């Protein structure tokens, strides 16, 4: 039987659509973890970036410091997160995976939010202040709305990275779609490995478009 036939058989096997190891459950685990990481990262990165950019504090130095995380390989982030969570008594699975995803999601969100607010024409800000707007009003009514396109680009970039990297959580005893890839390698089931990778890719594309 061809490789394509093996993949087709894997997807059409009822066993792979039921129970804890079924595609619906693994997909839900993956989406849930990604959503939690994105929400927490957004709550941390975006307000901080907007504040620094609004106040014109730190400038490129702050962005460079936050972006250090982008230079670290995803596997290394997961590997470093594991001993930290074990030391904190949080164990395997969920927490090391979440910590690694936060480490990867915060930089693009912060950078784009900071760049979006920083790039706003100063004359617009001065005009708003001239109309009697306070600092907080200028930030929420002028700067953030105008920076929204750039800000949302950072969110989409972070979403793709988070969905793709969440597969590595299977290495630290978490579930998600990465479970198919890890288990497939363990049993030398290339169809399962391919199926897992395909599901992750499709999910990443879907998240990147929203």
| pLDDT for residue 180 | 94
Q: Residues 128-181: pLDDT tens digits? A: 777 877 877 888 888 888 999 999 999 999 999 899 889 988 988 889 999 999
Contacts for 34 with CB less than 8 Å, ≥ 6 apart = 101, 159, 162, 163, 166, 207
Query: Average model confidence (pLDDT) for the chain?
Result: 86
| pLDDT for residue 73 | 72
Domain contains 2: no
Of residues 99, 51, 110, the one with CA closest to residue 74: 99
pLDDT band, very low/low/confident/very high, at 99 (cuts 50, 70, 90): confident
Instruction: Look up the pTM and report it.
Output: 0.87
Domain contains 138: yes
Domain contains 55: no
Domain contains 130: yes
Domain contains 17: no
* Residue 145 near residue 88, CB atoms below 8 Å: no
Domain contains 59: no
Domain residues for 95? 24-48+73-208
Which segment, 37-41, 48-52, 172-176, is predicted with the most confidence on average?
37-41
- The arithmetic mean of pLDDT across residues 114-139, rounded, is 81
Lowest mean pLDDT among 55-59, 114-118, 130-134, 192-196: 55-59
Where residue 177 sits, what CATH number does that domain have? 1.10.3720.10
Domain contains 204: yes
Domain contains 195: yes
Instruction: Please state the φ and ψ torsions of residue 119, each to the nearest 5 degrees.
Output: -85, -5
Report the domain count for the chain. Answer: 1
Flag whether pLDDT at 59 surpasses 90: no
Cα–Cα distance measured from residue 68 to residue 76, given in angstroms and rounded to the nearest whole number: 13
């Amino acid at each position: 039987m061809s490789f394509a036939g093996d993949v087709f058989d894997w997807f059409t096997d009822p066993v792979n659509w039921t129970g804890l190891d079924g595609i619906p459950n693994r997909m839900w685990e993956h989406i849930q973890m990604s959503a939690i990481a994105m929400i927490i990262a957004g709550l941390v990165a975006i307000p901080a970036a907007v504040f620094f950019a609004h106040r014109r504090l730190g400038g490129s130095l702050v962005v460079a410091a936050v972006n250090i995380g982008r230079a670290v390989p995803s596997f290394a982030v997961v590997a470093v997160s594991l001993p930290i969570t074990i030391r904190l008594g949080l164990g395997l699975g969920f927490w090391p995976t979440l910590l690694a995803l936060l480490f990867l999601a915060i930089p693009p969100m912060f950078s784009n939010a900071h760049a979006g607010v920083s790039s706003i024409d100063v004359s617009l800000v001065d005009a708003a202040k001239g109309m009697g707007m306070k600092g907080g009003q200028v930030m929420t009514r002028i700067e953030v709305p105008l920076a929204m396109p750039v800000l949302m680009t950072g969110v989409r970039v972070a979403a793709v990275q988070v969905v793709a990297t969440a597969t590595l959580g299977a290495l630290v005893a978490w579930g998600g779609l990465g479970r198919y890839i890890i288990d497939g390698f363990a049993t030398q089931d290339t169809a399962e490995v391919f199926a897992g990778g395909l599901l992750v890719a499709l999910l990443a594309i879907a998240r990147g478009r929203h």
